[in-house]
Amino acid sequence: MYATHVGIDWASAEHAACALDENGDPLARFAVAHSEEGLDDLVGRLAGFGERARVGVAIERPDGLVVDRLLDAGHPVVAVKPGAVKAYRSAETPSGAKSDRADAETRALRQTSRTRVRLVRRRVRATNQLTETLQNSWPGALAAFADLDTDIAMRFLARYPTRETGAHLGPKRMQRFLDTAGYSGHGWRRSAEQPGSYGDAGSTTPPMTPPGTADSKQ
């Protein structure tokens, strides 16, 4: 998604802009004139934030000279309704006083928030798809890591992507893997109900259970 989020408060004579990083922290605030030189300055400043396709711009107008220049330069442009900015301003500023620079930052923040929501949704969908795949093809790995959304679970699946690759993965080899990976969670224990290896074709639960794996992200 976007590495930099830019909000622009459009005006007939001068446009206020605010750039935020992917965490919502300010990178720059500036204003440019509504002229050819001013728009050249705007595009030039935005180029300093990296790859243009990853510098998204939020502005209240869906079209016009400013939008055309941004699109021609390769920037994704999102139209933010003025009413949404006004509502945010009223909630954050008791007086409700308008500030072009504050409105520009509000647009950038709204874009950052929307991007985060989209990323979370994609991550959840990907995790659900992976869970379903493992249920059918590699149940031992799924049961070993109740929370797939962890670095250690991803490293395990990168090292042992299939039931076959984990066919001989018993307690000792699993512990060596965890030690090599620098895993700092709780220890592992063998289950008396499920002896054997993770790749056991008939196993639907792992021979070892990691207490607290779901709580120990890396």
Residues 104 and 192 in one domain: no
**Total number of domains in the chain:** 2
**Could you report the per-residue pLDDT of 162-184, keeping only the tens digit for each?**
989 988 888 888 888 888 888 87
pLDDT at position 195 over 80? no
Number of H helices, E strands in the chain: 7, 7
pTM tops 0.85: no
Q: Among 106-120, 151-165, 170-184, which stretch is predicted with the lowest mean pLDDT? A: 106-120
> Which of 118, 149, 168 is the last residue in one of the domains?
118
Q: How many Cβ atoms sit within 10 Å of the Cβ of residue 214?
A: 15
Does a structural domain hold residue 35? yes
Give the whole-number percent of the chain exceeding pLDDT 70.
Answer: 66
pLDDT at position 190 over 50? no
Residues 40 and 82 in one domain: yes
CATH classification of the domain holding 83? 3.30.420.40
The residue that leads in pLDDT, 89 or 4, is: 4
Distance CA 183, CA 84 (A): 45
Query: What CA dihedral angle connects 83, 84, 87 and 92, to 10 degrees?
Result: -140
- Spatial contact of 62 and 79, defined as CB atoms under 8 Å apart: yes
Does a structural domain hold residue 65? yes
**Range of 44's domain?**
4-118
Residues 32 and 107 in one domain: yes
pLDDT at residue 92 in the model: 47
The model's confidence at residue 2, banded by pLDDT at 50, 70 and 90, is confident
- Spatial contact of 79 and 110, defined as CB atoms under 8 Å apart: no
Distance CA 138, CA 205 (A): 10
Does a structural domain hold residue 77? yes
